[in-house]
Structures are given as structure tokens and as C-alpha cells.
Amino acid sequence: MTLSVPHGGSLVINSVDSQERDSLQRELKKAPSVTLDPREISDLILLSEGGLSPLDGFMDEAAWTSVVERMRLPNGLLFPLPVVLPVAEELAKTFKKGDLVALKDENGKILAALNVSDVFRRDVQKEAREVYRTTDSAHPGVHYLLSVSPFAVGGKVRVVENLSGGVFSNRRMTPTETRNLFNHHSWSTVVGFQTRNPIHRAHEYIQKCALELVDGLLVHPLVGETKEDDVPASVRMDCYEALLSRYYPSNRVVLGVFPGSMRYAGPREALFHALIRKNYGCTHFIVGRDHAGVGSYYGPFEAHDLLKEFDYDDLGIVPIFFDTAYYCRSCEAMASHKTCGHPEDSRILLSGTQVRKMLREGMAPPPEMTRPEVAKILINHYSKVATPVS
């Protein structure tokens, strides 16, 4: 096996070279502009470096409709989540096909050019039903969807600013860079692991099980926008660094950061995460229990069921499915129901709510669940969160 072929056949990198940048920036200073929110900037970063290949920009109405209704781009290529650029109705009405638009951050800095190919109104209720399978505004993905304009502008983007900096720049790698690194290590098979949470012992167990099957592991935590009560990315990164430096083989594991934002779209987002890691060069992808889920909106193995609907020709990456892992006192080891036949009372398995309660109270979860180094970092974080501001 060799490293995966990028989704659609090749990496689509939507950034300009230095020669084009100067002239394009001069044009953009005179162009109308759209200010991007954090999620849209995350999408732009991925577009700039090929993470969202084969997309060359924000979707037009035909692509949006096709993706929402059948999880495929108009050309039939699998793509489960819409990537659109909402704009205020008043602004949308001023745009027409062929217009050049400047995309800016909240400080007014020009990040990219967008060549308008379409302006359309989304049916957000339809998008909520199809993508999130709920119209409940308590769902964080639906809440965001309902908070932005239903009008959207589609078109090719050309990024003029280097977007690879930021807090985690030392761990930021583009798909080109991860592929080069995997080749440098002579890895022909790599398994990717997506996470928005600190890695606990169950994660460690399934990662190491998967690592027995392949040459290398890409631990690829999401550091874009997440919901308010998720552990901040900086704290999670401290946990990953501590864990990987002590308990993993350094010559077989790469820690990078994924600049995307969470949609909390459950099964569809699990498929999205797999296809994106294919762009980064991964040949395999771990799909765990309730992957990309939130609350009780999705069943624990609906993501497994969705990915099993597609063959390798469609996916281009091999999903590795894992059940809930736990520590078994009788086995004296991490296990799952596939490897352990002991009764439930022999298992150490706490819910996320229980673990967070313990951490807030300054109590370390059992070491069978959370490595002491990780628990210490999390207790420190929760102690600060719990401290009232005077």
C-alpha cells in the first residue's frame, strides 16, 4: 500500500504565489468585502492548503444542494458536509457573477479573494434536517446554522495571506507537509485519529491497537472552533504533548493540529473527517463510538453504519471501527466487549460528565482511565475555570 491519493485525485491548493499576491492585493483593496467568522476562517485555511480537496472555494447552490441531498458533489464524488460562505442579505443583493470580493478577518486584514460564481439562499431547515438530522436549536451545529444569514455567496478563492501561523504553528502541517513527513519516515500506511477531547486511556488503547496494523499514527486534534464547554485547544494540546512524550514510540507517531471547526454532525462529520485525513496522506482512519456526536442526537454506532455503506472506491481510505473501550479488573488490562467476556461490574468506565465532575473537584480519575500526567493538567484547568473572578 502507498499513501492515499487525495480526494478527487490531487491536492487543490488555493493560495497564490508572491508574484500574483501583490497585484491581487491591490485589486482587493478596491473591492467590496466580506468579514469572516472563526468557522469561515477555518474553512479558508483548509481551502488554502488543500485540506478540503477537491474544493477550490465556497460551494455554489448546485454543490450545496447535491451535498445536502445526497452527500455527493455534482460530479458524483463523495462529500458529506456543505462548505458555504454566508453573507448578509443586503450585501448578497449587491453581488453578481464575476465580481471580485475581498475576504477579511475581524480586524480588516485581507486574507483572500473570492470570484463570485453564484449568490443563493439556502433552505436552512432542510440543511438542518438532512445534515444534522434535527432542527433543534439546542444542537450546536443547528444553533450556528440558524444564527447566520441564509444567503450565501459561492466561488473560487485565492488566498493571499499566510494562514499557517497562530498559537499552534509549531504543530501546524499542511497536507503536503504531512505527506512529505510520512515519506521521510518511509511509512506506506498511516492511521489518522481525530479528536476534540483530551486523550484518555480508552483512546490510547484504540490508537495503539490500530498502530499494530500500520506503519505510523497521525494524532490530529481539531483546534478550530468548538462549543463553549469543550476543553480549550491549548489545554488539550498540553495533554497530548505530555501523553505522547511518555507513552508512545516517538518514531511511529506524529502529532499535528487540524485547523478545522467542529460541526457536531455525527455520522456525516465522521465521514468528512475520514475524507479530509485522506488528503493529509492517511491510508486508514479510526472511527470510534459516537464519532463527532453531541448529546443524544445520534446513536453510538451510526457513524460506523454510515461509513460501511461505502466501498473503498468511494472512500479511498480504510476505516477502522472501534467499540467502547474500558479497563477490566479481571483482565487487568484495557479491553472492549470484543476482547473481554467479564461482567460489567469488573469494568472501570466513567461517563464524561462523571470525569468532569471529579476534575472540577480536584480529584484525579482512576489511573486506569486517565494517565496521571493528563489528569494533573486537566485538574489545573478546571480549578481555574471554577475560580470566581473577584
Q: What domains are defined for the chain?
A: 18-159 (3.10.400.10), 169-386 (3.40.50.620)
* Angstrom distance (rounded) from CA 235 to CA 112: 30
Interacting residues of 2 by C-beta distance below 8 A, sequence separation 6+: 188, 283
Output the average pLDDT for the chain: 94
Could you tell me the pLDDT band of residue 388, with boundaries at 50, 70 and 90? very low
Can you give the pLDDT at residue 165? 73
Can you give the pLDDT at residue 353? 74
DSSP string, 118-155: EEEE--HHHHIIIIIS---TTSHHHHHHHHS-SEEEEE
SS3 labels along 192-261: EEEECCCCCHHHHHHHHHHHCCCCEEEEEEECCCCCCCCCCHHHHHHHHHHHHHHHCCCCCEEECEECCC
Could you tell me the pLDDT band of residue 246, with boundaries at 50, 70 and 90? very high
SS3 labels along 55-77: CCEECCHHHHHHHHHHCECCCCC
Can you give the pLDDT at residue 389? 42
Catalytic residue among 70, 197, 252, 356: 197
Asked if 197 is an active-site residue, the reply is: yes
Starting at the edge strand found earlier in the chain, the sheet holding 318-321 runs: 253-255, 216-221, 190-195, 284-287, 318-321
DSSP, res 323: -
C-alpha cell at 46: 483548509
362 sits in the region (left: phi over 0; alpha: psi -120 to 50; else beta) called left
Catalytic residue among 158, 171, 196, 277: 196
Q: How many CA atoms lie within 13 A of 31 on its CB side?
A: 25
Asked if 196 is an active-site residue, the reply is: yes
133-152 pLDDT, tens digit per residue, is 999 999 999 999 999 999 99
* Angstrom distance (rounded) from CA 279 to CA 192: 11
DSSP, res 27: H
> Which of the residue ranges 22-36, 105-119, 226-240, 343-357 would you say has the lowest mean pLDDT?
343-357
To the nearest 10°, the Cα dihedral for 167, 49, 91, 140? -60
Is pLDDT at 390 greater than 60 in this prediction?
Answer: no
- Residue 279 near residue 53, CB atoms below 8 Å: yes
268-307 pLDDT, tens digit per residue, is 999 999 999 999 999 999 999 999 999 999 999 999 999 9
Q: Of 289, 249, 285, which Cα lies nearest the Cα of 267?
A: 289
74-96 pLDDT, tens digit per residue, is 999 999 999 999 999 999 999 99
Is pLDDT at 242 greater than 80 in this prediction?
Answer: yes
* Angstrom distance (rounded) from CA 167 to CA 251: 25
Could you tell me the pLDDT band of residue 228, with boundaries at 50, 70 and 90? confident
Can you give the pLDDT at residue 386? 58
C-alpha cell at 191: 492511521
Peptide bond into 365 cis (omega under 30): no
338-382 pLDDT, tens digit per residue, is 999 999 999 998 877 788 888 889 999 999 999 999 999 999 999
Give the CA angle between residues 366, 367, 372 to the nearest 5°: 115
C-alpha cell at 290: 459516537
* Angstrom distance (rounded) from CA 236 to CA 174: 20
13-62 pLDDT, tens digit per residue, is 999 988 899 999 999 999 999 999 999 999 999 999 999 999 999 999 99
Could you tell me the pLDDT band of residue 229, with boundaries at 50, 70 and 90? confident
- Residue 63 near residue 154, CB atoms below 8 Å: yes
203-219 pLDDT, tens digit per residue, is 999 999 999 999 999 99
Task: Using the structure block, give the residue that is written with the C-alpha cell 463527532.
Answer: 292
Percentage of residues in the chain having pLDDT higher than 70: 98
* Angstrom distance (rounded) from CA 248 to CA 54: 33
DSSP, res 169: G
Can you give the pLDDT at residue 167? 76
